[in-house]
Structure 1
Amino acid sequence: MPATPLVRRPDEPGTRRATAIELGILQGGYLLFLLPWFFLAIGGTMSLANWDSVAAAFVILAWWVYPVVALATTVAAWVLFANRLLGAARWVNRVPLAWVLVGVALVGWIAVAG
């Protein structure tokens, strides 16, 4: 049977601890990002609130789903971690980084433009 990414492998020394630290640091960052995210979400919703545009509704929906994605990936990452699927846990935990990077870029753009 060919190896798949979800195959359990013996832990290398320190790998499990390093994975737990990475999960904790990233999830702490996701939690801290909720404050600026809230202001960006409110401002973005007000600026894109054009009900004649379907694209604007998708942008608003994509932005407002961040807390759900952060919570779901946090739970999934720790479940994978508990099942010793460390690589999968790391990748699942990195999914909300897309929202964080876009948010940081928006905050930077607002700071420079203002």
Structure 2
Amino acid sequence: MMHATPAGRHDAPVPGPDPARRGAAQELGLLQVCYLVFLLPWFLLAIGGTMGLANWESIVAAFVILAWWAYPFVALGTAIAAWALFATRRHGAARWVNRVPLVWVLVGVALLLWIWLATA
């Protein structure tokens, strides 16, 4: 005699995660790996940008430097928030929160391309 389990009978197939949940988890993981990989060029741009914008007579330069140095904290904070939203099954919100650091990545890639084209 088979005993019932929370998922059903012992020989019944166990359902996997739904496709929306699997897609959200894959997107969160992939983007967070990209954010981690971007830390090396980000650091070089942060040091160079700080030296290049070190005109402390300009308040705009100070805000640009502070915004650029906020990237690791934003990436970590949004990763934690995205996984918390994912755990509560708010997949759409988790995806949008996880995309916030893309602003830094896109700006950084544009800066790297600009530097590369200027030196070529």
Quick check: TM above 0.5?
Answer: yes
State the partner residue of 1:53: 58
State the partner residue of 1:36: 41
Larger radius of gyration: 2
- Aligned pair count reads 103
Percent of paired sites with the same residue: 70
Output the CA distance in 2 between the equivalents of 1:19 and 1:102. Answer: 24
State the partner residue of 1:16: 21
Output the CA distance in 1 between the equivalents of 2:98 and 2:18. Answer: 21
- Read off the aligned partner of 1:75 and give its amino acid letter: I
State the partner residue of 1:95: 100
Task: Give the alignment partner of residue 91 of structure 2, picking from 83, 86, 89.
Answer: 86
1:25 CA drift (Å): 0.2
What is the CA deviation profile of residues 80-109 of structure 1, one whole-angstrom value per residue up to 9, with x for unaligned ones?
000000000000000000000000000000
- For structure 1, list consecutive stretches of 5 or more residues without a partner in the other structure: 1-11
What is the CA deviation profile of residues 26-75 of structure 1, one whole-angstrom value per residue up to 9, with x for unaligned ones?
00000000000000000000000011110100000000000000000000
TM-score by length of 2: 0.84
Matching of residue 26 in structure 1 with residue 37 in structure 2: no
Matches within 5 A, 1:62-77: 62-77=67-82
Output the CA distance in 2 between the equivalents of 1:56 and 1:13. Answer: 47
**CA RMSD in angstroms, aligned pairs only:** 1.0
Q: Specify the SS of the correspondent of 1:92.
A: helix
Which structure's relative contact order is higher, taking Cα pairs within 8 Å and 6+ residues apart? Answer: 1
